[in-house]
C-alpha cells in the first residue's frame, strides 16, 4: 500500500481539495483507495456523506488513532491511502509525514501563504521523505504562481509542475460529493486533477497513463 500525506500548517491552503481529487482519480482507475480525514472540521468525511459512489472510502479519525486507522486500510487491502491532515497541528502532521511515501504541500500563490509554508517544510523535512509543493487556486492568467514557485524553490523543496487553477468546477463538484473529473469530465479542472494524479503516481511508481503537460 502506498501512502500520501497532504500537509499544510496554514488553513485554507487546499489540503482537502487535493486529497479528494487524488483519491477519486485513483478510485476511478480501479484502485482500492481510502482517505483518512484528521481534520476536526471533517470536510472530507462530509463530502463522503454527500457522495453516491462508495469509493473512495473516507475514514474520519482523531490524530491519536492514525496508526490504528492505517492498519484498518491495510486490512481492507488498500492500494492507496491519502491522509488529509489538520492545520495548526504539528504532532499530527509529523506522524502523518512519517508514515507517508510522498508528502504534498498545497500552497496558494499569496504572500501570507508563502511566508507560512516555511514552518510546514521545516517540520516535514525532518522525515527525509520526498516532498513537493503543489500550487493551488492559481489565477488563470498572470505570473504570480511562477514568482511564488521560484520563491518556494529557494527553500530547497521540489515544486510540482502541475498547478490547480481557480476553476469553478473544483468547488461545485465538491458540493455534490464529486470530483472535477466526475462533475465536468472534459473540463480544464478535470484535466488538471488527472495530471496531478499522474504526477503522484509517477513518484509512487504506480502504473498509470502518462503525465501530460500542464493546462493553461
Cell numbers found for residue 66: 492514525
Task: Please indicate, yes or no, if residue 212 is contained in any of the structural domains.
Answer: no
Task: Please indicate, yes or no, if residue 104 is contained in any of the structural domains.
Answer: yes
Measured distance CA(69)–CA(110) in Å, rounded: 34
Among candidate residues 120, 122, 87, the one with its CA nearest the CA of residue 105: 120
Task: Please indicate, yes or no, if residue 215 is contained in any of the structural domains.
Answer: no
| Residue 127: predicted pLDDT | 95
| Residue 213: predicted pLDDT | 39
> Which three-class secondary structure string do you get for 26-90?
HHHCCCCEEEEECCCCCHHHHHHHHCCCCCCEEEECCHHHHHHHHHHHHHCCCCEEEEECCCCCH
pTM: 0.93
| Residue 81: predicted pLDDT | 98
Among candidate residues 108, 20, 30, the one with its CA nearest the CA of residue 58: 20
Among candidate residues 188, 182, 145, 154, the one with its CA nearest the CA of residue 168: 188
CATH number at residue 161: 3.40.50.300
Task: Please indicate, yes or no, if residue 179 is contained in any of the structural domains.
Answer: yes
Number of domains in the chain: 1
Tens-digit pLDDT string for the chain (216 aa): 999 999 999 999 999 999 999 999 999 999 999 999 999 999 999 999 999 999 999 999 998 999 999 999 999 999 999 999 999 888 889 999 999 999 999 999 998 899 889 989 999 999 999 999 999 999 988 888 889 999 999 999 999 999 999 999 999 999 999 999 999 999 999 999 999 999 999 999 998 754 343 433
Task: Please indicate, yes or no, if residue 214 is contained in any of the structural domains.
Answer: no
Backbone angles phi, psi at 4, to 5 degrees: -120, 130
Task: Please indicate, yes or no, if residue 17 is contained in any of the structural domains.
Answer: yes
Task: Please indicate, yes or no, if residue 209 is contained in any of the structural domains.
Answer: no
Task: Please indicate, yes or no, if residue 15 is contained in any of the structural domains.
Answer: yes
Q: Which domain holds residue 132?
A: 2-204
Amino acid at each position: 500500500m502506498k501512502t500520501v500525506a497532504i500537509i499544510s500548517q496554514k488553513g485554507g491552503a487546499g489540503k482537502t481539495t487535493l486529497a479528494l481529487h487524488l483519491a477519486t482519480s485513483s478510485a476511478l482507475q480501479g484502485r482500492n483507495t481510502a482517505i483518512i480525514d484528521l481534520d476536526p472540521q471533517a470536510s472530507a468525511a462530509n463530502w463522503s456523506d454527500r457522495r453516491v459512489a462508495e469509493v473512495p472510502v473516507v475514514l474520519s479519525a482523531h490524530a491519536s488513532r492514525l496508526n490504528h486507522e492505517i492498519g484498518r486500510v491495510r486490512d481492507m487491502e488498500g492500494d492507496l491511502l491519502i491522509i488529509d491532515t489538520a492545520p495548526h497541528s504539528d504532532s499530527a502532521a509529523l506522524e502523518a509525514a512519517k508514515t507517508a511515501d510522498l508528502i504534498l504541500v498545497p500552497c496558494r500563490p499569496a504572500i501570507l501563504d508563502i511566508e507560512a509554508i516555511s514552518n510546514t517544510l521545516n517540520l516535514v523535512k525532518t522525515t527525509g521523505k520526498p516532498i513537493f509543493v503543489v500550487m493551488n487556486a492559481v489565477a488563470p492568467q498572470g505570473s504570480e504562481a511562477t514568482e511564488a514557485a521560484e520563491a518556494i524553490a529557494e527553500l530547497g523543496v521540489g515544486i510540482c509542475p502541475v498547478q490547480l487553477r481557480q476553476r469553478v468546477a473544483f468547488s461545485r463538484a465538491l458540493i455534490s460529493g464529486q470530483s472535477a473529473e466526475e462533475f465536468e469530465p472534459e473540463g480544464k479542472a478535470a484535466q488538471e486533477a488527472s495530471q496531478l494524479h499522474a504526477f503522484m503516481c509517477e513518484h509512487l511508481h504506480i502504473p498509470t497513463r502518462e503525465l501530460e503537460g500542464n493546462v493553461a
